Amino acid sequence: MERDRPADAVAALVELERLDPEEPRWAQRLGEAYRRLGRPKDAEDAFVRAMDGYVRGGFVPRAVAMAKLVIGMNPARIDLLARIEPAGPAAPLIPAIKPPPLPAKAVPLARAADAAENEVRFDDAGDASSISIVLEDIEELEIIEDEGAETVDRPLPTPYEPSIDRLATMSAFQLFAGLHREPLLALSATAELVEFVPGAMVIVRDEPAFALYAIVGGSARVLVPGGGEIRLTEGEVFGESCLLGSGRRQADVKAETPLMTLRIEKRALDAITEQHPEVRDVLFHLLARRLVANLMQTSKLFTVFEPRVRLEFAQMFEVRRAEPGTVLAQRGRLRDGLYVLLAGNVTATDGAGERMRIARGSTFGYEALVGGATADVTLEAETESVVLRLPSTRFMSLAATYPPALALLAELADEPLRPSEPPMLGA
């Protein structure tokens, strides 16, 4: 009715807002109906009421989106952003979340004192370096079977409404709700409201990664290379490859329903993080969390396990810092675990002396999880680097009870490393 008969929708939404004034979604939908009717002043007033309601509830990304809608219609209302306050003493519905300070406190890699000559092994860091992963991170990344039709030809899925408790743990809300006033205002000011129609391409694989997206409404599909799709819904952040230096997009992302997003360009993020280090820490935590969740959902090694077991694996990862010159693996020697490169430059040198800088976001070390297998390349931190590390001893303690997972390791150990841009450094 809201799209086909907007005049009737206005009357119904006015009544719903009167009956339930604490629900800001009625005001938001009323504003959208006014906008379709060509009544910009009424739309502006409704969106402002929705913004104020979302601020009271602690739904900061939604509040920012409403402010951006109004500013798009009336640039003089730039003052609205200053009304989006971080959580104060009166606790909102969505609690303020401050992720662990990363990567500043990533534990340095230190060679184990009892390491043998034929192995490269580091001391484990324990819980001090773990990242915050919850079961929903593993379960909510919904894998969609190939339905053999373009998104625009499929019936639109039923809108997904996350619970308040779930929203509190989701990336977009952590990104905004965990900040103090000044960085929150800076992030809100630079965020751009971008809307997509169903079927529109939001991100194209292999293009330069220039922006981060937070979903405010609707859903999108991530087309995973090699087959399969992942559905993302409100509260999710995607495009995190822009945080990986000169990264490129790793997958296509397509709007599944009418999609409302907040887009923040990398150059703006760089400027904000330079001035407000706490934003860097939040972003880094979100990046680590997403990379581990993606690995749990897309790697054949981990998808054979049920979600709760995958969660156990995810919580085993350590966030570690490698000083320049740290040898993470040495050709012909045993290695100690599975790694994901988050930040910095790591080079791989093969038996012929050819050197390649590997791409950030790369996963390496599967062969360490196969007993007795040695590294086929030497990996060295060229600059200070931050990695996720899953010690092989921890992996085996859990995986040994599931033989099919062990059978996959030899296959995965043969997968080549991905080069960065530019790929080759020369011999």
Residue 405 lies in a domain: yes
Q: Count of domains in the chain?
A: 3
Task: Look over the chain and give the mean of its residue pLDDT values, rounded to a whole number.
Answer: 78
**Segment (H or E) for 236:** none
342 with 388, same domain: the answer is yes
Which structural domain range is residue 399 located in? 107-128+317-426
The predicted-structure confidence for 153-199, as pLDDT tens digits, reads as follows 555 554 445 444 444 444 566 677 667 778 888 888 889 999 999 99
Residue 263 lies in a domain: yes
Cβ atoms of 230 and 295 closer than 8 Å: no
Residue 217 lies in a domain: yes
189 with 70, same domain: the answer is no
What is the mean pLDDT of the segment spanning 274-293? 79
- Two tokens at 102? 């990363």
User: What is the predicted pLDDT for the residue at 17?
Assistant: 93
213 with 324, same domain: the answer is no
- Two tokens at 229? 């799709």
Residue 95 lies in a domain: no
The predicted-structure confidence for 194-229, as pLDDT tens digits, reads as follows 999 999 999 998 888 889 898 988 999 988 665 567
Residue 304 lies in a domain: no
162 with 112, same domain: the answer is no
- Two tokens at 344? 């910095």
The predicted-structure confidence for 7-35, as pLDDT tens digits, reads as follows 788 999 999 999 999 999 999 999 999 99
122 with 37, same domain: the answer is no
Hunting for tokens 């639109």 — which residue is that?
156
219 with 144, same domain: the answer is yes
Query: φ and ψ at 37, to 5 degrees?
Result: -85, -5
Residue 65 lies in a domain: yes
258 with 379, same domain: the answer is no
Query: How would residue 425 be classed by pLDDT, with cut points 50, 70 and 90?
Result: very low
Structure-derived torsion over alpha carbons of residues 392, 402, 142, 236, reported in degrees to the nearest 10: -20
Strands 107-108 and 318-322: parallel
243 with 388, same domain: the answer is no
**pLDDT more than 90, % of the chain:** 30
79 with 168, same domain: the answer is no
Largest CA distance in the chain: 78
User: What is the predicted pLDDT for the residue at 23?
Assistant: 92
Hunting for tokens 């009421």 — which residue is that?
49
Query: How would residue 304 be classed by pLDDT, with cut points 50, 70 and 90?
Result: confident
71 with 122, same domain: the answer is no
Would you say residue 347 has pLDDT above 80?
A: yes
- What are the counts of helices (DSSP H) followed by strands (DSSP E) for the chain? 14, 21
Would you say residue 43 has pLDDT above 80?
A: yes
Other Cβ atoms less than 10 A from the Cβ of 319: the count is: 25
Residue 90 lies in a domain: no
Cβ atoms of 218 and 257 closer than 8 Å: yes
Distances from the Cα of 263 to the Cα of 63, 152, 408, angstroms = 14, 23, 38
Nearest-5° angle of CA 44, CA 41, CA 25? 35
What is the mean pLDDT of the segment spanning 115-134? 78
Q: Is the pTM of the predicted complex or chain greater than 0.85? A: no
User: What is the predicted pLDDT for the residue at 89?
Assistant: 38
Query: How would residue 75 be classed by pLDDT, with cut points 50, 70 and 90?
Result: very high
Other Cβ atoms less than 10 A from the Cβ of 372: the count is: 6
The predicted-structure confidence for 236-250, as pLDDT tens digits, reads as follows 888 877 776 656 777
CA dist., res. 311 & res. 369, Å (int): 18
What is the mean pLDDT of the segment spanning 81-97? 54
Would you say residue 397 has pLDDT above 90?
A: no
- The CATH number linked to 249 is 2.60.120.10
Which domain-ending residue is among 262, 295, 328?
A: 295
Strands 252-255 and 220-223: antiparallel
DSSP state of 74: -
27 with 111, same domain: the answer is no
Would you say residue 113 has pLDDT above 70?
A: yes
Residue 416 lies in a domain: yes
Burial annotation 108-125 (CB, 10 A radius, 16+ → b, else e): ebeeeeeeeeebbbbbbb
DSSP state of 122: B
- The CATH number linked to 28 is 1.25.40.10
64 with 113, same domain: the answer is no
User: What is the predicted pLDDT for the residue at 144?
Assistant: 54
Distances from the Cα of 282 to the Cα of 107, 168, 304, angstroms = 17, 14, 31
Which domain-ending residue is among 17, 50, 83?
A: 83
CA dist., res. 56 & res. 155, Å (int): 35
